[in-house]
Chains A and B, each alone.
Chain A
Amino acid sequence: MKLYTFVTEFLQLIILIGIAPAFTGWVRMLKCWSQGRTSAGLFQPYRDLDKLFSKDVLLADNATWIFRFTPYLVFGTAVLAGGIIPMLTVDLPIAYAADVIVLVALFAIARFFTALAGMDMGTAFGGMGSSREMTIASLAEPAMLMAIFTVSLASKSTSLSQMVHVIYSGQYVFRPSIAFALIAFILIALAETGRIPVDNPATHLELTMIHEAMILEYSGRHLALIEWAGMMKLFLFVMLGIAVFAPWGIASSGDFIPILSAFFFMLLKLGIIGIGLVLIETGLAKMRIFRMTEFLGSAFLLATLGMLSFFILE
């Protein structure tokens, strides 16, 4: 049984929006266990979102349209990004129109508006968070592109679906350049999704916050959308990593059975990656903020080395 492509596309978005909070819940659960605590369960993020949606929005008098518009934009770009990354199948209509550069740009748009919204109120924390976020962005985005380009050299395409196709078609051999790119990607993903050791998603300390500082003034459904988008971003980075470095399991066609098995493969991989993430987060303290340049600089360096090694070894 072959599904229409728009159906698979739709399925992907449902999964993204629906499962992303559960993945965050899974990470939090593992984290609790690793610290010797009882966890609030897999579904706590849903309850949190529900709570926020039922609360009133409190707006500052001087909030402009940017502040009100940003949550929808951030949520929208995250959903759109979900249409590009092959999660269940490579047979996605939007994927042909948009490659990985578009993906990076989508994240950049969301970040740009979040930073603007952070400064919109004129509070000290918002501005501070925005300035820190942009510092990270200026280092993380080139490194991210570099890492993806290194991988795309092998498949000679920047389209994610095409990359997966190439891996499936058997032309793929494991190259040292991929290993470099993988390490670089992990470092960048930690920074981009605001995890320890770069940022601490659970902190209440205003002065150390990065992402949280920008969204400190949000409340109610606005905050819910931003939180949800944040969970989706974490989910998307995991999906991107899977698609680029370990796509096995993703359906190469639009048939129903492979898509169903792809779904279970996805859950399995999410579970394993969650464990890896928690091991990193439990074992490390947060870096000093100026260590970030070294951290992301080394990510860029690794990606570059990967690219060089590709040309030297080919």
Chain B
Amino acid sequence: MSVLIDAITPVLGAEFRRDEGLHPSSIPSCIVSREKFAETAKAMKSVHALLAAEWASDETLFGRGFGIYACYRWGAEYLIIKTEAPFDDPTFPSLTKRFLPAYRFERQIHSLMGVTPAGHPDLRPWIKFEDWPEDAWPLRKSFDASKPMPRVFGEYKFVRAEGEGVYEIPVGPVHAGIIEPGHFRFQAVGEDILNLEERLGYVHKGIEKKFELLSWQEGSRLAGRVSGDTTVAHSLGYCMALETMTGCSVPERAQWLRALFLERERIANHLGDLGAICNDAAFAFMLYQMSRLREIMLRTNHKLFGHRFIMDRIIPGGVAADIDADGKELILKELKKLLKEFNKLVTIYDENSSLEDRVRDTGILIPDKAREICAVGIVARASGLNLDCRMQNPFPPYDRIELNVPVLISGDVHARAWVRVEEVRESIRIIRRILETLPSGEILTEAGIPAPDTSGFSAVEGWRGEIVYWLQAGPNSEINRCMVRDPSSVNWLGLEQAVLGNIVPDFPLCNKSFNQSYSGHDL
């Protein structure tokens, strides 16, 4: 039996109610009363489950109030627990005391949906800005997104540290380099970091609201633009969630092609990251060489699939780009060359003692902390958590590919870099395996339209980590809610923890080793 279901059964007893609308049916879900919501979290904590996501949905169109959902993960299992809050009393018990990532999920729910987590320690707005009116809740159905927002006076109070020699360094949101905007507030004594507070939301584009205005087909295009560098994984996550709702079975060839795109995206991004990490330690040689290798990948992508980042090539029901024998040949040749040069560069990285001095023991995220913030992806695997959706919740074709995912326990910058190195090699192996076994046949089928009041869930391992999508169909089979949880939503918390006790000039290196998405977080 399932560990998670076993854990909540004693808490709920006879109250246990399955949520029939959710697809895929392999993922258990249940509806509990508000009083039991926090208790189920306690039960989840007792079996060491992790919180994957928490979100709210405005269900007034169904004649209900708000639905608040918490998604837990334990190894391969997922469990979604829902509770409902009536429209005139929009509150629910906070989970923050049990699960740290709920801290930001709930602030987000509070700011954007206007549902208050009771007992939450910090209800400053998150993502929403302080100069928005307090009762502007953009994710509510009653909110008109076409009207300009009236501006009011507001102030965001940062955490303060006091004492002799303590000073503040505000960094951003506009940075000297060409990177996304985010504000970092350091409290430091000399060069030692006492505290780091992140302030994100500068690239809030209203993506979740925008989904609700689109058709199901158009949705995959928008999903591909949630975070530009993860376009493949995001559109895959969206399409998989939609396909589980409509019961569409994707042709086998399309599934393997999707995996091919996903792994190519992973390699390209890891190459870029490895170079960028070294560049932040002023080892520019690596940046240019890695960028060169990345460029080779991107150009091949453009040549074979018509887009450098393979954007919009994964669509509901299949894929929009195929590969022929020549293309296979080209990829194999490219990978052979790539692997050879990559190994040479890794040797340089590994044997340069001045570089090693910078990356080792810098920005350590200890495994306990990683577990506490429910980290995912590269960050989790560098801190001893063996989490990978490709392995634990294998979506096809990964159920037929043996994976050898690297896990390190040191949790420092080097560990996060080294996980990437090993993953590049592993992905090259996977791509070769995909090209070997790529079945013939159709690449696209009709995706269909979901039935009213159903929801779909998917978890995909993008290059940063697990991406979660949750879709809900409204009364007229339109998109009622699309919840996107990029790995950045939880991993940004890890950065705050990892830099504690480090020195200020090491922050860029720590930050680059996390390399979380601002856009994917702010939505």
Q: How long is the Cα–Cα vector from A266 to B94 in the complex, in angstroms? A: 73
Contact B281–A286 (Cβ < 8 Å): yes
Contact A37–B358 (Cβ < 8 Å): no
Contact B283–A285 (Cβ < 8 Å): yes
Contact B282–A207 (Cβ < 8 Å): no
Interface members, chain A 209-246 (any B CB < 8 Å): none
Q: Residue of B at shortest CB range from A203?
A: B282
Asked if B10 is at the interface (CB within 8 A of a chain A CB), the reply is no
Q: Which residues of the other chain, A, contact B504 by a CB distance below 8 angstroms?
A: 128, 207
Interface string of A254-294 (1 = CB under 8 A from B): 00000000000000000000000000001111111111000
Asked if B247 is at the interface (CB within 8 A of a chain A CB), the reply is no
Q: Which residues of the other chain, A, contact B281 by a CB distance below 8 angstroms?
A: 285-286
Interface members, chain B 283-311 (any A CB < 8 Å): 283-285, 288-289, 292
Contact A124–B170 (Cβ < 8 Å): yes
Contact B354–A282 (Cβ < 8 Å): no
Asked if B514 is at the interface (CB within 8 A of a chain A CB), the reply is no
Interface string of A118-150 (1 = CB under 8 A from B): 000000110110000000000000000000000
Asked if B97 is at the interface (CB within 8 A of a chain A CB), the reply is no
Q: Which residues of the other chain, B, contact A1 by a CB distance below 8 angstroms?
A: none
Q: Which residues of the other chain, B, contact A171 by a CB distance below 8 angstroms?
A: none
Q: Which residues of the other chain, B, contact A36 by a CB distance below 8 angstroms?
A: 288-289, 292
Using C-beta atoms within 8 Å of the partner chain, give the interface range for chain B: 20 to 34
Q: Residue of A at shortest CB range from B280?
A: A205
Using C-beta atoms within 8 Å of the partner chain, give the interface range for chain A: 20 to 34
Contact B285–A282 (Cβ < 8 Å): yes
Q: Which residues of the other chain, A, contact B191 by a CB distance below 8 angstroms?
A: 289-290
Asked if B505 is at the interface (CB within 8 A of a chain A CB), the reply is yes
Which single member of A200, A284, A288 contacts B503 (CB below 8 Å)?
A: A288
Q: How long is the Cα–Cα vector from A36 to B283 in the complex, in angstroms? A: 14
Contact B355–A35 (Cβ < 8 Å): no
Which residue, of A37, A203, A206, A283, has the highest number of chain B Cβ atoms within 10 A? Answer: A206
Asked if A197 is at the interface (CB within 8 A of a chain B CB), the reply is yes
Which single member of A124, A206, A285, A291 contacts B167 (CB below 8 Å)?
A: A124
Q: State how many angstroms separate the Cβ of B192 from the closest Cβ of chain A.
A: 10
Which single member of A31, A196, A200, A204 contacts B176 (CB below 8 Å)?
A: A204
Asked if A34 is at the interface (CB within 8 A of a chain B CB), the reply is yes
Q: Which residues of the other chain, B, contact A127 by a CB distance below 8 angstroms?
A: 167
Asked if A309 is at the interface (CB within 8 A of a chain B CB), the reply is no
Q: State how many angstroms separate the Cβ of B238 from the closest Cβ of chain A.
A: 35
Which single member of A31, A35, A286 contacts B358 (CB below 8 Å)?
A: A286
Asked if A208 is at the interface (CB within 8 A of a chain B CB), the reply is yes
Q: Which residues of the other chain, A, contact B228 by a CB distance below 8 angstroms?
A: none
Contact A200–B282 (Cβ < 8 Å): yes
Asked if B352 is at the interface (CB within 8 A of a chain A CB), the reply is yes
Q: Which residues of the other chain, B, contact A284 by a CB distance below 8 angstroms?
A: 283, 352, 354
Interface members, chain A 29-50 (any B CB < 8 Å): 31, 34-37
Q: How long is the Cα–Cα vector from A7 to B477 in the complex, in angstroms? A: 89
Asked if A202 is at the interface (CB within 8 A of a chain B CB), the reply is yes
Q: Residue of A at shortest CB range from B169?
A: A124
Contact A205–B288 (Cβ < 8 Å): no
Q: How long is the Cα–Cα vector from A15 to B447 in the complex, in angstroms? A: 73
Asked if B211 is at the interface (CB within 8 A of a chain A CB), the reply is no
Which single member of B278, B507, B508 contacts A285 (CB below 8 Å)?
A: B278
Contact B285–A34 (Cβ < 8 Å): yes
Asked if B205 is at the interface (CB within 8 A of a chain A CB), the reply is no
Interface members, chain B 489-509 (any A CB < 8 Å): 503-508
Contact B288–A207 (Cβ < 8 Å): no
Contact A204–B177 (Cβ < 8 Å): yes
Interface members, chain B 336-368 (any A CB < 8 Å): 352, 354-355, 357-358
Q: How long is the Cα–Cα vector from A125 to B504 in the complex, in angstroms? A: 11
Interface string of A166-207 (1 = CB under 8 A from B): 000000000000000000000000000000110010111111
Q: Which residues of the other chain, B, contact A287 by a CB distance below 8 angstroms?
A: 354, 357-358
Asked if B208 is at the interface (CB within 8 A of a chain A CB), the reply is no
Contact A207–B169 (Cβ < 8 Å): yes
Contact A35–B284 (Cβ < 8 Å): yes
Q: State how many angstroms separate the Cβ of B351 from the closest Cβ of chain A.
A: 11
Contact A208–B505 (Cβ < 8 Å): yes
Q: How long is the Cα–Cα vector from A173 to B191 in the complex, in angstroms? A: 46
Q: State how many angstroms separate the Cβ of A58 from the closest Cβ of chain B.
A: 15
Contact A285–B170 (Cβ < 8 Å): no
Q: State how many angstroms separate the Cβ of A187 from the closest Cβ of chain B.
A: 14
Asked if B175 is at the interface (CB within 8 A of a chain A CB), the reply is yes
Q: Which residues of the other chain, B, contact A124 by a CB distance below 8 angstroms?
A: 167-170
Contact B282–A288 (Cβ < 8 Å): no
Contact B176–A285 (Cβ < 8 Å): no
Asked if B171 is at the interface (CB within 8 A of a chain A CB), the reply is yes
Q: A204-B177, A206-B175, A285-B354 are in contact. Are A290 and B503 (CB under 8 A)?
A: yes
Contact B508–A207 (Cβ < 8 Å): yes
Q: How long is the Cα–Cα vector from A290 to B280 in the complex, in angstroms? A: 17
Q: How long is the Cα–Cα vector from A206 to B176 in the complex, in angstroms? A: 7
Residue pairs across A and B with Cβ atoms less than 8 A apart, 19 shown, are: A31-B284, A34-B285, A36-B289, A125-B169, A196-B282, A197-B354, A206-B171, A207-B171, A207-B505, A208-B508, A282-B285, A285-B352, A285-B355, A286-B282, A286-B283, A286-B358, A288-B358, A289-B505, A290-B503
20 more contacts with CB within 8 A, not counting A203-B282, A290-B503, are A35-B288, A124-B168, A197-B282, A202-B284, A205-B280, A205-B508, A206-B175, A282-B285, A283-B354, A284-B283, A285-B278, A285-B281, A285-B282, A285-B283, A285-B354, A285-B355, A287-B357, A288-B358, A288-B506, A289-B503
Chain A contact residues, CB within 8 Å of chain B:
31, 34-37, 124-125, 127-128, 196-197, 200, 202-208, 282-291
Across the A-B interface, the 4 shortest Cβ-Cβ residue pairs: A286-B282, A204-B177, A200-B282, A285-B281
